[in-house]
Amino acid sequence: MTIKDFGARVVSVWEGLRPLTKKMLVGALQATVSNSSNTPTQKFSYDAHADWELSRLLSALEEQTKDAEIKKDAEKLREIRNLADACASVLQEKTESAEVFIQLAERTFLRHDYKNIDTLADILARRFSVSEIAEIIRQTELPQIRAVAFETLAMLPAALLVTLLDDPIYHEIAHLALEQQAFEFDNQDAQQILEQLDFDEMNGE
């Protein structure tokens, strides 16, 4: 079975992939299908464009799994899901994008894959910038994803959250995270920052 059997939208996205992205995905697909830790890990250059390409392909593949005709063909459905899993695997390993994180998290919650939810939370804390975590909170419509992102912010040093306070888009998010640190975790640094904010507001600064 080939990509051409997966539907016009998938074919269109696939044909737009750069050769390096296709090669990276084929390697990930082989590892996903074999489900073996002994599969050699290949090193590929990864950038924001690859992120975007794989995210589009994952969306197209996931859409195809809902197609009534596709569901009648067990082999085709399995192969589409394998390719989607390979896309998700690469994205989860590499992405630093709020939009892609939301896409992966929505997919994980839909599958009730609670083990992977913990993995995504670890990735968020380890790899994502404080502004991207705040952007996840701002963009997501799922309260579960928002809760994971807020919990991650609450674990970061208070000094990092301060950098968000001057941005009107993220000010409220940072303020809520600081309040959580101050009152739930008794974080002295967060308490001092909130006190200074109250003082500045009282004095019109």
20-60, pLDDT tens digit by residue?
999 999 989 988 777 654 444 466 789 999 999 999 999 99
Residue 140 maps to a domain: yes
Q: Which of 43, 78, 94 is the last residue of a domain?
A: 94
Residue 106: inside a domain:
no
**One domain for residues 146 and 187:** yes
Examine the domain organization and report whether 8 and 85 are in the same domain.
yes
How many domains are contained in the chain?
2
- Report if residue 103 sits inside a domain: no
Q: Mean pLDDT, the chain, as a whole number?
A: 92
Q: What is the pLDDT of residues 142-175, one digit of tens each?
A: 999 999 999 999 999 999 999 999 999 999 999 9
Q: pLDDT per residue over 66-85, tens digit each?
A: 999 899 999 999 999 999 99
Residue 35 is predicted with a pLDDT of 64
> What are the CA-CA distances from residue 2 to residues 7, 23, 79, 103 (Å)?
10, 15, 9, 25
| 185 in a structural domain | yes
- Same domain for 90 and 28: yes
Residue 172 domain flag: yes
Question: Do residue 143 and residue 205 come from a single domain?
Answer: yes
Q: Kindly indicate the confidence band of residue 205, based on its pLDDT and cuts at 50, 70 and 90.
A: low
Cα–Cα separations (whole angstroms), residue 191 to 32, 168, 181, 196: 47, 21, 8, 9
Q: Is 90 found in the same domain as 3?
A: yes
Q: How far is Cα 67 from Cα 64, in angstroms, rounded to an integer?
A: 5
Does 61 have pLDDT greater than 60? yes
Please report whether residue 115 resides in a domain: no
pLDDT of residue 39: 45
In a domain, 16, yes or no: yes
Residue 157 lies in a domain: yes
Q: Range of 132's domain?
A: 120-205
